[in-house]
Structure 1
Amino acid sequence: VRGIVANEVRCRDLVELSMAMVTSLAPKIGYDRAAEIAKESAKTGRTVREIAREKKVLLEKELERALDPIKMTEPGGKE
Structure 2
Amino acid sequence: MGLISQAEVVDHGLLATQGGLVIDPSGRVLTATGEPIPRLYAGGGTACGLAGPHSDGYLSGNGLLAAFGMGWLIGDDLTTEHRRRRRP
Same fold, judged at TM 0.5 (above): no
Which structure has the highest helix share of the two? 1
TM-score, with length taken from structure 2: 0.24
As a proportion of its length, which structure holds more strand?
A: 2
Q: Which has the larger radius of gyration?
A: 2
TM-score, normalised to structure 1's length? 0.26
